[in-house]
Amino acid sequence: MSTLSERILGGAAGTYVDVEVDRAYVHDGTGVLTLEAWKEMGSPGPRYPKRLYILFDHIVPANNSTTALLQKELREFAREKGIHFSDIGGGVCHQVMGEGEVLPGEIILGADSHTSTLGAFGAFATGVGATDMAAVWASGMTWFRVPETIGIFLEGAFQGTTEAKDLALSVISRLGMDGASYMALEFLGGAVGTIPMEGRLTLANLATESGAKTGIFYSDEVTLAYLKDYGRSVERQVPEPCTYAREIDINISDLEPLVAVPPRVDTVRPVRELAGLPLDQVFVGTCTNGRYDDLQRFASIVKGKKVKVRTIVVPASACVLEKAAATGILSTIVAAGCTIGTPGCGPCLGAHMGVIAEGETCLSTANRNFTNRMGIGGKIYLSSVATAAASALAGVLTNPEGLP
């Protein structure tokens, strides 16, 4: 009997396998490097262009002439080769791929470290470097050492304002930032069925921050219903008895709002212990927490009120933006004094659209709080959407529990 990763890759943990890649994608940053490596290989092709995607999300709109020129070259390449292409405003690569593209059982490669996000669909999804991606362009294949798996068994139900981001931070704090190096995190247990796809995407996304190769869920009724909305019909994946390298039991009923303290994602403390910390900026968005449910939750808390600190909200995709506009959520967020950014990564990587200054502090719903990530000398605290909303209204780090 096998873990889900072993089943998809077709080998036992520790063995080496050559596999065909079902879908492979790059963004405007890694796409430039991949194209350069592919040209150096002198390979004809790409071999399977319809399996490839180029998705602009990192520095969009372009922030200078050099960026614009590089993006122009990628646009022309995608058009010439017949590669799937998403331009400025389409959204974060992982989110766009999660809107009806990725299916259970597939092998997904992305030239970005948070490709693990798509393991939420029951796919084996992982990030690779530009050279490996260029080889996939050329051959349609890659190789893996099949990872061992840590079983994360979830029971109970979220209470109050706790959400999947709090659970994800709790998992990372237990494992440490390298505690699952080159392993898969497999999420199981009675509570999994209560976690919506948006929460699963968040959990799979943060798996990378433990060093994991991927985070993965079995496709179930939640998966089927989500993909049905995109016209996709898929089957459930049933867990088999198997051996895990390690098992972790978590009762999510016991969780409370958490925050990751810079400069490490695994340095996690209850929000209540740091309440009152002054903030200069709040950022809601990214591949971790920029989906429609996230914006809806944020809007429900700030509705009829005004934020007391500059607050940037960036929808994860054009689809999210469109739905938020159609349902009035976008108007609620703007009326609260927030700024809406172009769908994409926004200020997450510190390129533009919200870079913080030396000495400033940002509360972010993103996945990384490393030194200088969003601006030289700035500090980043990571939190859930509910904590971000409560804190934006107060102007300081605030526990969302007990909010009216």
Spatial distance between the Cα atoms of 225 and 277, rounded to a whole number of angstroms: 41
CATH 3.30.499.10 domain residues, the chain: 11-145, 260-394
Fold (topology level) of 11-145: Aconitase; domain 3 (3.30.499)
pLDDT in tens, 377-398: 999 999 999 999 999 999 999 9
323: exposed, middle or buried (Cβ count in 10 Å: 0-12, 13-18, 19+) = middle
> What separation, in Å, do the N-terminal and C-terminal C-alpha atoms of the chain show?
49
* Cα–Cα–Cα angle for 137, 140, 145, rounded to 5 degrees: 110
**Which of these, 117, 238, 252, 248, lies nearest to 191 by C-alpha position?**
252
Residue 169 per-residue DSSP state: H
d(CA 50, CA 59): 25
Report the share of the chain in percent with pLDDT over 90: 98
Task: Give the pLDDT confidence of 290-300 residue by residue, as tens digits.
Answer: 999 999 999 99
| CA distance linking residue 112 with residue 92, whole number of Å | 11
Tell me how crowded residue 247 is: count the other CB atoms within 10 A of its CB.
Answer: 13
**Considering the domain 260-394, what is its CATH architecture?**
2-Layer Sandwich (3.30)
Q: Report, as an integer, the average pLDDT of 95-106.
A: 98
pLDDT at 45 over 90: no
Rounded to whole angstroms, the Cα distance separating 3 from 247 reads 13
Going by C-alpha positions, the residue among 351, 303, 282 that lies closest to residue 62 is 351
Sheet holding 124-127, edge to edge: 84-86, 52-55, 23-27, 107-110, 124-127
What is the model's pLDDT at position 1?
A: 83
Give the bridge partners for 54, in sequence order: 26, 85
In CATH, which of 2.40.50.100, 3.30.420.10, 3.40.1060.10, 3.40.50.300 is domain 148-254? 3.40.1060.10
In 114-257 the beta strands, taken as DSSP E runs, fall at: 124-127, 141-145, 148-155, 183-188, 214-217, 246-251
Q: What does the block give as tokens for 202? A: 């968040």
| pLDDT-based confidence at residue 43 (cuts at 50, 70, 90) | confident
pLDDT of 404 strictly over 70? no
Cβ within 8 Å of residue 404, ≥6 positions away: none
- Name residue, tokens 């974060």: 92
Maximum distance among all alpha carbons in the chain? 62
Q: Across-strand partners of 251?
A: 155
The pLDDT-based confidence of 283 (bands split at 50, 70, 90) is very high
Q: Where in the chain is the domain with CATH 3.40.1060.10?
A: 148-254
At which residue do the structure tokens 């470290």 appear?
113
205-251: pLDDT as tens digits: 999 999 999 999 999 999 999 999 999 999 999 999 999 999 999 99
Could you read off the pLDDT of 143-192 as tens digits, one per residue?
999 999 999 999 999 999 999 999 999 999 999 999 999 999 999 999 99
* Residue 47 DSSP SS3: coil
Beta strands in 189-301 (DSSP E): 214-217, 246-251, 258-260, 268-270, 281-284
Extended strands (E) in 209-330: 214-217, 246-251, 258-260, 268-270, 281-284, 310-313
Q: What is the pLDDT of residue 388?
A: 98
Give me the chain's average pLDDT, please: 97
User: What is the band of 402 on the pLDDT scale with cuts at 50, 70, 90?
Assistant: confident
Mean pLDDT of 262-272: 97
Amino acid found at 318: A
